[in-house]
Amino acid sequence: MKLIGLSGGIASGKSTIGRRLEQLGAVLIDADELAREAVAPGSPGLGGVVDRFGAGVLRGDGSLDRSALGAIVFGDEAALAALNAVVHPEVRRLFAARVAEARDRDPEAIVVYDVPLLVEAARDQAWDLVVIAEAPAEQRIARMVELRGMSETDARNRIARQASDAERRAVADVVIDTSGSKARTLSQVDELWRRITSG
């Protein structure tokens, strides 16, 4: 089995790369999906969040009220650290379970973990390969404004709160330049897949 870490800043084209690798035969695990599952109704993670922050972070149906929780942790480093201390271990547990499932199905599986905060929170994982999606900040800002309806100020703030391109490159084995056409990005992914599967 091979374990590939896939990361990149917001609007860097990481999801396009992940989807293509999945189409080519990789098992794709999405960290954002695991983070949602970690605090799903009835989960230990949600119980831990309620224990720490109170029942005010729940909706009437028992699910997590993300905006209420966001209002508590936004700008409060201690509260955010407390939240991460609950959620991150659950995400790691779910990730380990998904990897084990993939290995059980196919010992030769190529598992791709789409993890936005690889540099910030997952760099110590034993990756076989780290792939970074990269595009210039101004292009990423334009994508966020056009495709996600964000304001330019919000887009710049999101980028500023993430790891820098230099920090990502420092852990990268492969950098995929997503600043050109989608076809150009996909051709780089196809070449990466040939490299992965021929080794």
| pTM over 0.95, yes/no | no
* 128 within 8 A of 3, measured Cβ to Cβ: yes
Tell me the one-letter amino acid at 47.
G
What's the pLDDT score for residue 148?
86
Q: Residue 169 maps to which CATH number? A: 3.40.50.300
Q: How far is CA 58 from the centre of its chain?
A: 24
Number of domains observed in the structure of the chain: 1
Beta bridge partners of 3: 111
Angstrom distance (rounded) from CA 196 to CA 73: 40
* 28 within 8 A of 112, measured Cβ to Cβ: yes
Beta bridge partners of 5: 113, 130
Angstrom distance (rounded) from CA 76 to CA 11: 25
Q: Which residue is associated with the tokens 């980028």?
A: 159
* 5 within 8 A of 129, measured Cβ to Cβ: yes
For residue 6 the two structure tokens come to 């896939």
- Parent domain of 112: 2-198
What's the pLDDT score for residue 162?
86
Q: Which residue is associated with the tokens 């790891």?
A: 163
* 11 within 8 A of 145, measured Cβ to Cβ: no
Q: What is the pLDDT along the chain (199 residues), one digit of tens a residue?
A: 999 999 999 899 999 999 999 999 999 999 999 999 999 999 999 999 999 999 999 999 999 999 999 889 888 889 999 999 999 899 999 999 999 999 999 999 999 999 988 887 666 788 999 999 999 999 999 998 998 888 999 889 888 888 888 999 999 999 999 999 999 999 999 999 999 998 6
Of 175, 141, 133, nearest in space to 157 by CA: 141
- DSSP single-letter state for residue 49: H
What's the pLDDT score for residue 123?
67
Of 7, 4, 2, nearest in space to 175 by CA: 7
For residue 102 the two structure tokens come to 């993939």
What's the pLDDT score for residue 199?
64
Angstrom distance (rounded) from CA 63 to CA 106: 35
For residue 45 the two structure tokens come to 């993670």
